[in-house]
Amino acid sequence: MKIATALLAAVATFSLVQITGCAVARDQQTVGAYIDDATLTTRVKARFAEDKTVSATSISVETLNGTVQLSGFAKSTAEKATAENLAKSTPGVKAVRNDIVVRP
């Protein structure tokens, strides 16, 4: 009974993926691209956590199709620039949009 339920769930999932064309969100990206973007986001966040000059908790990282968007607040222009450079130098990142605001 459990095997039949698992098999039915697998077939339903496969059918759903085939019907939607593997799209995570309509006209945005495939499942593979979503996973790649999630990996890039994790890599950038890890680099922020390793760097003493960047506040990993104050800067948000989002990725879409290899383009990383940074947002949040930095204490200085140096921190903002370091965050951008760390993101740009992360393997797999195609472009960086730096929307970090420097708090006075």
Domain ranges in the chain are 30-102
Using 50 as the pLDDT threshold, list the residues of the chain that sit under it. Answer: 4-12, 15-17, 19-26
Cα separation of 15 and 38, whole Å? 24
Of the CATH numbers 1.25.40, 3.30.700, 1.10.260, 3.30.1340, which one belongs to the domain with range 30-102? 3.30.1340
pLDDT confidence of residue 20: 44
What pLDDT is attached to residue 98?
98
The confidence score (pLDDT) of residue 34 equals: 82
Q: Which helix (H) or strand (E) holds 23?
A: strand 23-25
pTM of the model: 0.70
**Residues 75 and 103 sit within 8 Å (Cβ to Cβ):** yes
